[in-house]
Amino acid sequence: MSQGKVYLVGAGPGDYKLITLKGRDCMEEADVIVYDRLADERLLGLARPDAELVYVGKASSEHTLRQEDINRLLVEKAKEGRIVVRLKGGDPFVFGRGGEEALELAGEGVPFEIVPGVTSAIAVPAYAGIPVTHRGLATSFAVVTGHEEPGKTASGICWDKLASGVDTLVFLMGVENLPAIAAQLMNHGRSPDTPAAVIRWGTKPEQEVLLTTLARAAGEVAGRGLKPPAVFIVGEVVALRKQLAWFDTKPLFGKTILVTRAREQASALSDALEALGARCLEAPVIKIVPPESFDDLDRAVGCLKNYDWLIFTSANGVDYFFRRLHAAGLDSRALGGRKVAAIGVPTAARLRGYGLIADLVPAEFRAEGVVAALQGELKPGMRVLIPRAEVARELLPEKLSELGAEVSVVTAYRTITADTDGPSLAARLAAGEIDLVTFTSSSTVTNLLALLGRDTSWQDKTRVACIGPITAAACLDNGIVPDAVAEDYTIRGLVSAICTLFEEGSK
């Protein structure tokens, strides 16, 4: 049996993109991933499909497994010859009990490595616009536990030195003990008027910032019902937030947006929305799958020389066409002499990835635009191949036939209803937990409604944005009235329309 190994990996403070490159590499290699609640579960998407995932909890007052059990678990998995990642919120060695886990591994002779993470002690204040040091205001800072080991008869913190000897104080896990922390600091000389902040779920779209003072902090936290996880910061630098706030001032900050695209395509839209501060809920309602048979597409690939034009109506059509082209032992050279049209910029970009530059990209990214653009190019008798989805609008082949073309439509892929949890999604919509639903195709409309049992009553609490007029028409046909329709039928156009929608709603 090969020797196992354990990587103690810092997951960062909450924003899953703050994991380090080395941490990502370890996640992709791991046979087993042991994670706690402060690790954003989207990080688990880095895991191999066959990796074992073990959740161990570790909330401040509720433990799925005791620390001793976690230590033993790491040892046991490694001694099975497996590569283990212990994924920990923040940094493993900053109040993460990583030292205890490492000592257990060392004592058992298990190889291990420490992969540092971005600690919340610095990152959370930074996302709130609070630098822990600043010239003229703070030349020192301290990171202090706000949750000392239970059972201690006396505090291990030197409050007399800490209160007046350090400019910026950052308390982690200190919300539940905030009254005692504030009292200790004031009793040992810290001014009650010292600026302070409590930041909950820092670096995440749920981030909540309370600006207060040392004297008022405990009462205001109780009044607002702020719960862990949160960071408590004391120091003059807190006042800089009024000028330096950048994260929670983004145009879509605090908005929960449902992304209904297929899972493999959702990230582009989610990334764009999250960059503007949104919280994205990816619930794919469609799944892109191969056709029941590739026979028709393979026959078309085998006689490409017979066609004058190839028209691609989606990036999916491009991908599936080239998969079959490659399966036949061919590449883009097989299209030599044929002209190629792409329905829009994303489809044209996908073609470029296969070494082809589209001869025609219409100004209007839909079938009508392709027909209009081809009117001066397409001669009667020319043969046209359209590899597309199994179910699609018939307007394009019908109009091209009217222009005298011989049109062959072949199924390159199918869209089916994904296995998203419909009842759970319906409950969140009914509760008003989702601010906006996005639709990027007609199939996302019909398949979402199929998952929701055709219910559309959620419109009273949720807005709807569509990527273009065809998708908007599918909404209207199904009793959904869109609040925003992109003028540019691209992800960028959709994001722009969403921003405009919320900007107008805030006026």
Any idea what the CATH number is for the domain that residue 24 is in? 3.40.1010.10
Residues spanned by the domain of 447: 256-285+418-505
The pLDDT of residue 190 is: 97
Rounded Cα distance between 115 and 98, Å, is: 10
Residue at a domain's end among 118, 143, 159: 118
The lowest-confidence range among 58-62, 242-246, 264-268 is 58-62
Rounded Cα distance between 361 and 373, Å, is: 8
The predicted model gives 102-106 an average pLDDT of 97
* Tally of domains within the chain: 4
Rounded Cα distance between 71 and 201, Å, is: 27
CATH of the domain at 236: 3.30.950.10
Helix spans in 188-310 (H): 217-224, 241-244, 263-274, 295-302
Query: In this structure, is residue 332 part of a structural domain?
Result: yes
Give the gyration radius of the chain's Cα atoms. 28
CATH of the domain at 406: 3.40.50.10090
Query: In this structure, is residue 319 part of a structural domain?
Result: yes
pLDDT tens digits, residue range 305-333? 999 999 999 999 999 999 999 999 999 99
| Same domain assignment for residues 397 and 327 | yes
Percent of the chain scoring above 70 in pLDDT: 96
Mean pLDDT estimate for the chain: 91
Total number of residues shown for the chain: 507
| Same domain assignment for residues 352 and 501 | no
| Same domain assignment for residues 95 and 153 | no
| Same domain assignment for residues 102 and 175 | no
Which of 15, 31, 40, 58 is labelled catalytic?
Answer: 58
Task: Kindly report the pTM of this predicted structure.
Answer: 0.80
Percent of the chain scoring above 90 in pLDDT: 75
Rounded Cα distance between 334 and 350, Å, is: 17
| Same domain assignment for residues 358 and 499 | no
| Same domain assignment for residues 331 and 438 | no
Establish whether 36 is a catalytic residue: yes
| Same domain assignment for residues 229 and 294 | no
Burial class (CB in 10 A: 0-12, 13-18, 19+), 182: buried
Report the C-alpha dihedral over residues 59, 61, 67, 70, rounded to 10 degrees: -40
Phi, psi at residue 230, to the nearest 5°?
-150, 155
Nearest CA-CA partner of 89 in 204, 221, 170, 196 = 204
Establish whether 58 is a catalytic residue: yes
Place of tokens 């909450």: 14
| Same domain assignment for residues 450 and 409 | no
| Same domain assignment for residues 105 and 189 | no
The predicted model gives 145-171 an average pLDDT of 84
Say if residue 261's pLDDT is above 90: no
Say if residue 417's pLDDT is above 90: no
Establish whether 79 is a catalytic residue: no
Query: In this structure, is residue 250 part of a structural domain?
Result: no
| Same domain assignment for residues 309 and 397 | yes
The pLDDT of residue 507 is: 44
Query: In this structure, is residue 101 part of a structural domain?
Result: yes
Residue at a domain's end among 395, 416, 437: 416
Which of 15, 91, 173, 382 is labelled catalytic?
Answer: 173
Rounded Cα distance between 47 and 29, Å, is: 8
Say if residue 149's pLDDT is above 80: no
* Interacting residues of 423 by C-beta distance below 8 A, sequence separation 6+: none
Query: In this structure, is residue 251 part of a structural domain?
Result: no
pLDDT tens digits, residue range 354-374? 999 999 988 776 778 888 888
Query: In this structure, is residue 16 part of a structural domain?
Result: yes
| Same domain assignment for residues 101 and 132 | no
The letter for the amino acid at 231 is V
Sort strands 168-172 and 112-115 into parallel, antiparallel or unpaired.
Answer: unpaired
Residue at a domain's end among 358, 383, 416: 416
Longest dimension (CA), the chain: 93
The model's confidence at residue 264, banded by pLDDT at 50, 70 and 90, is low
Which of 5, 27, 31, 36 is labelled catalytic?
Answer: 36
The pLDDT of residue 156 is: 84
Query: In this structure, is residue 249 part of a structural domain?
Result: no
| Same domain assignment for residues 371 and 315 | yes
